[in-house]
Amino acid sequence: MTGNATFRHDNTALLAVTSVEAPVVVTSAEFDERLAPSLKRLRLSKRLLERVAGVTERRWWSPGSDFDDAAIEAGAKAMAEAGIEPSDVGLLINTSVTRRNLEPSVAVKIHHSLGLPSSAMNFDLANACLGFVNGMTLAANMIDSGQIKYALIVAGEDAQKTQEATFKRLNREESTREDFLSEFATLTLGSGAAAAVIGPADLHPGSHRILGGVSRAGTQHHELCVGGVDGMYTDTKGLLDGGLELVVTAWHEAQSDGWKWDAMDRYVTHQVSNSYTNAIIKAVDLERERVPITFPHWGNVGPASLPMTLAQESQSLNPGDRVLCLGVGSGLNTSMMEIAW
Task: List, in order, residues 6 or more apart from 44 with CB less than 8 Å away.
Answer: 38, 177, 180
Q: Measure CA 27 to chain center.
A: 21
Beta bridge partners of 25: 59
β partners of residue 195: 18, 154
Active site residue 103: yes
Judge whether 131 and 125 are in contact, CB under 8 Å.
yes
Helix (H, G, I), strand (E, B) or coil at 42: coil
The full 3-state SS of 242-293, as one line of letters, equals HHHHHHHHHHHHHHHCCCCCCCCCEEEECCCCHHHHHHHHHHCCCCHHHCCC
Partners of 57 in beta bridges: 27
325 is catalytic: no
Q: Which residues contact 10 (CB under 8 A, 6 or more apart)?
A: 144
Catalytic member of 50, 73, 129, 338: 129
Helix (H/G/I), strand (E/B), else coil: 187 = helix
Asked if residue 91 lies in contact with residue 226, where contact means CB atoms within 8 angstroms, the answer is no
Cβ-based neighbours of 289, under 8 Å, separated by 6 or more: none
3-state secondary structure of 336: strand
Closest CA to 310 of 279, 341, 277, 276: 341
Q: Which of 103, 174, 178, 289 is catalytic?
A: 103
List, by residue number, the catalytic residues: 103, 129
